[in-house]
Amino acid sequence: MKFRTRRTMLYIPGNNPGMLQLADIFGADAVLFDLEDSVAPNEKDAARDLIANMIRFREYENIEITVRINPIDTPYFDRDVKEIIASGNLDAIRLPKANSAKDVKALEKLINKYEEEFKIEPGSIKIHPMIETAIGVIQSYEIASSSDRIDAITIGGQDLTANMGVSKTKEGKEILWARSQVVMSAKAANVDVIDTIFADINDEEGLIEETRLIKSLGFTGKAVINPRQIKPIHAVFAPSKDEVEWAFEVIDAYEKALKEGRGVIAVRGKMIDPPVRKRAQRIAGMAYLMEQE
């Protein structure tokens, strides 16, 4: 299987054909077509029809296609899920305001139904719950581990700070705990964890600083709202030369050990176990991607 990463997931407003039709050219790892906040209530139907057609006919190249639908408690929820699954080429659904495992289960049930109805490979459509309330943060492990369809969870900073009754700052101290909690839950559930957007598209330094922070916390990627934010984030996530060399040593040693039937191996004096090997494979994959860019 091709190495897939989600360093960047590019938001695109759902009712804007000019931007939707260009989604795959900016070099983001994934696109996030949005039916929620960027679409006015009286245009939800239009955006849904448009996104469904884009996914059905546009044949995007080498990019993960995800759609942020409207929350469960809105009248659009069922239609959103149905229409975008009917489009046939969807990779994942981002579920906003996931407050509990129950919410995920509700979406899962719908996906099961429509996958069957539209003859999509069962289980192929993933779920990305979005943690953006206090209760969601508290329940984040239950959410992250509530379905086999989940392969990433994400945090939504704007709504979360609103829910906390504080304002979102550039430094982000107010959501530091929440970020750490969400990362920990994701790691415990063994899924990717995607950070919230950085709103000031003109502040590249601020973006880089924040990306360094969230990378150090354990996030595997970040949502972006402007194509200009993609490169700086990929650069932060790029492994160092030393990391890449280490990764290839680990992979080689592992394969050699496997061939020779040895169980225990060490690289640079340290034991290599499956989690370390997984990290090495991830770094090697990243290095390959960076070479392509």
Is 74 a binding residue for other proteins by CB under 8 A? The answer is no
From 14-22, 32-40, 90-98, 262-270, give the range in contact with other proteins by CB under 8 A.
14-22
Considering beta carbons, is residue 15 or 70 the nearer one to other proteins?
A: 15
Binding-site member from 30, 35, 39, 50 for other proteins (CB under 8 A): 50
Specify the amino acid at residue 173: K
Considering beta carbons, is residue 20 or 193 the nearer one to other proteins?
A: 20
Minimum distance of other proteins from residue 90's CB (angstroms): 16
| Three-point CA angle 124, 132, 168, nearest 5° | 135
Is 255 a binding residue for other proteins by CB under 8 A? The answer is no
- Binding mask of the shown chain, residues 206 to 245, with x at each position contacting other proteins by CB under 8 A: --------------------xxx-----------------
Considering beta carbons, is residue 46 or 135 the nearer one to other proteins?
A: 46
Considering beta carbons, is residue 54 or 67 the nearer one to other proteins?
A: 54
Q: Residue 32 has which token pair? A: 């996030």
Cα 35 from Cα 292, distance rounded (Å) = 31
Binding-site member from 3, 17, 171, 270 for other proteins (CB under 8 A): 17
Alpha helices for the chain (secondary structure H): 17-20, 44-57, 77-86, 101-117, 134-138, 140-144, 157-164, 176-189, 204-217, 230-237, 241-260, 274-292
Is 82 a binding residue for other proteins by CB under 8 A? The answer is no
Considering beta carbons, is residue 36 or 132 the nearer one to other proteins?
A: 36
Binding-site member from 4, 56, 113, 279 for other proteins (CB under 8 A): 56
Do residues 210 and 198 touch, judged by C-beta distance below 8 A?
yes
* Residue 129 backbone phi and psi in degrees, to 5: -65, 145
- Number of residues this chain uses to bind other proteins (CB under 8 A): 26
Considering beta carbons, is residue 5 or 53 the nearer one to other proteins?
A: 53
Do residues 3 and 288 touch, judged by C-beta distance below 8 A?
yes
Beta bridge partners of 33: 12, 67
Is 9 a binding residue for other proteins by CB under 8 A? The answer is no
Beta pairing, strands 270-271 & 266-267: antiparallel
Is 27 a binding residue for other proteins by CB under 8 A? The answer is yes
Binding-site member from 3, 41, 57, 166 for other proteins (CB under 8 A): 57
Considering beta carbons, is residue 43 or 249 the nearer one to other proteins?
A: 43
Cα 131 from Cα 46, distance rounded (Å) = 27
Considering beta carbons, is residue 25 or 188 the nearer one to other proteins?
A: 25
Do residues 31 and 221 touch, judged by C-beta distance below 8 A?
no
Is 204 a binding residue for other proteins by CB under 8 A? The answer is no
Is 144 a binding residue for other proteins by CB under 8 A? The answer is no
Q: Residue 132 has which token pair? A: 């953006």
Is 53 a binding residue for other proteins by CB under 8 A? The answer is yes
Q: Which of 56, 25, 51 is nearest to 39 (CA)?
A: 51
Beta bridge partners of 270: 267
CA distances for 205 relative to 115, 209, 210, 238, angstroms: 43, 6, 9, 17
* Interaction site with other proteins (CB under 8 A): 15-18, 21-22, 25-27, 45-46, 49-50, 52-54, 56-59, 226-228, 291-293
